[in-house]
Amino acid sequence: MHTSQAVADKPEHENPALLHHFATKGQQKNAASLGMWLFLAQEVMFFGGLFCAYLVYRYKYFGDFGSASQQLDIRLGTINTVVLICSSLTVVLAIRAVQLGKRMALVFWLLATILFGLAFLGIKANEYAEKFEKHHVPGTSFSYHELLPGQEKFPAAERQYANPHHAEMFFSLYFAMTGMHALHMIIGVGLFGFLAYKAWRGKYTPDYYTPIENAGLYWHFVDIVWIYLFGLLYLIDRHR
Amino acid sequence: MSDHNSASEHTPEHISEHISSLGSCLAIWLALLAGTTLTVAAAFIDLGPFNTIVALTIATIKATLVVLFYMHVKYTHEKLTGLVIVSAIFFLFILLALSMADYTMRLWR
């Protein structure tokens, strides 16, 4: 009885993609997926700390944060949001391609994802450069002389200006949060480059594509972080 | 042996093997783009204190779409994934809610 069981299991164990300490491919995939989700839960807490710091200071310095937020380029921010959403679509299409066993389509969609990721980083670098030119980078050369939101309608003598120290706090949080996000993007682009090379070599098949799926989860998570960053950093008090 | 066999039948061999249709991938993509347009448009309308709430609600709807459809959570049979997601959101809620409860109630300062 046991022998026949062992024989029945044998083809499964001969699969080079199945590590010896897992009974089935399903079990192996579940373990890898659960590990990835636990990593993402840890990432939620990591970014959560930054979001919490942001909330505390936005609550304390609401008007100044509105003023500083309007120094960001909402056009570039929106374009970057669209770029990231498109990159999430290409990730999903890459997973679809590998599930259907289309190797070249997989490589194409992975490269498309890298391209969108680099486009995002390029636009972000452009925004950062503008911040350096305007002396809006926190530090000794920081200078800020802008009105509070909605003050343009008052006569010049009565207009109130934002507290530059509070605006500096906004930009500190802006650089910390978007910088951490950009670092995740850089890691993601590297990861997808590695996967694209492996995929081109034919490593991934409909039988084994866990790395593609888990890298996809990572990429979607980074996309979700940006969805919140965009809403919180770029869209404060725009109506005034 | 028969026990073992029935157990292995229940061992899901093809977990998260769900293949999304091209149509659903594009539909979610369009929904995410529509959400982006909506949130930018809403930011320029004066809703008083509700501007932030509207922005965060739209962001949460977009995030939910990504998690459910793009991250295949809707199609997974693995209950532990759901547990990890719910606990991550729950602990994030504790972090934000208790911190804000503290900072917003310091009326003596």
Q: Once rounded to an integer, what is the mean pLDDT over residues B10-39?
A: 82
Residue A3 placed within a domain: no
Whether the pLDDT of residue B11 is over 70: the answer is no
Residue A94 placed within a domain: yes
Query: Chain A contacts of B17, Cβ < 8 Å?
Result: 99
Query: Chain B contacts of A49, Cβ < 8 Å?
Result: 95
Residue A178 placed within a domain: yes
Q: Do A238 and B44 touch (CB under 8 A)?
A: yes
C-alpha to C-alpha distance for B38 and A235, rounded to whole angstroms: 12
A6 in B contact zone (CB under 8 Å): no
pLDDT digits (tens, 9 = 90+) for A127-145: 999 999 999 999 999 999 9
Whether the pLDDT of residue B10 is over 50: the answer is no
Question: For residue B44, what is the nearest residue in chain A, using CA coordinates?
Answer: A239
DSSP structure class, residue B20 = P
Supply the pLDDT for residue B18.
Answer: 83
Compute the C-alpha angle B17/B18/B21, nearest 5°: 140
Supply the pLDDT for residue A9.
Answer: 52
Residue A20 placed within a domain: no
Q: Once rounded to an integer, what is the mean pLDDT over residues B93-102?
A: 95
Q: Do B84 and A41 touch (CB under 8 A)?
A: yes
Q: Which residue has the higher pLDDT, A4 or B78?
A: B78
Q: Which residue has the higher pLDDT, A64 or A14?
A: A64
Average pLDDT, chain A: 92
Our count of domains for chain A comes to 1
Domain of residue A63: give its range. 45-234
Q: Name the percent of chain A lying above pLDDT 70.
A: 94
Cα dist. B9→A15, A143, A152, B3 in Å?
A: 20, 68, 70, 10
Cα dist. B78→A32, A178, B11, B13, B81 in Å?
A: 12, 33, 11, 12, 6
A170 in B contact zone (CB under 8 Å): no
Which residue, among B11, B26, B32, would best test binding to A if mutated, counting the most A CBs under 10 Å from its CB? Answer: B32
Residue A218 placed within a domain: yes
Average pLDDT, chain B: 85
Domain coordinates in residue numbering, chain B? 19-75, 76-109
Q: Do A235 and B43 touch (CB under 8 A)?
A: yes
Whether the pLDDT of residue A1 is over 50: the answer is no
Residue A35 placed within a domain: no
Residue A219 placed within a domain: yes
Q: Do A220 and B81 touch (CB under 8 A)?
A: no
Q: Phi, psi (5° rounding) for residue A72?
A: -80, 150
Which CATH number belongs to the domain containing residue A61 in this structure? 1.20.120.80
Which residue, among A2, A33, A79, would best test binding to B if mutated, counting the most B CBs under 10 Å from its CB? Answer: A33
Q: Do A44 and B88 touch (CB under 8 A)?
A: yes
Q: How confident is the model at residue A237 (pLDDT cuts 50, 70, 90)?
A: confident
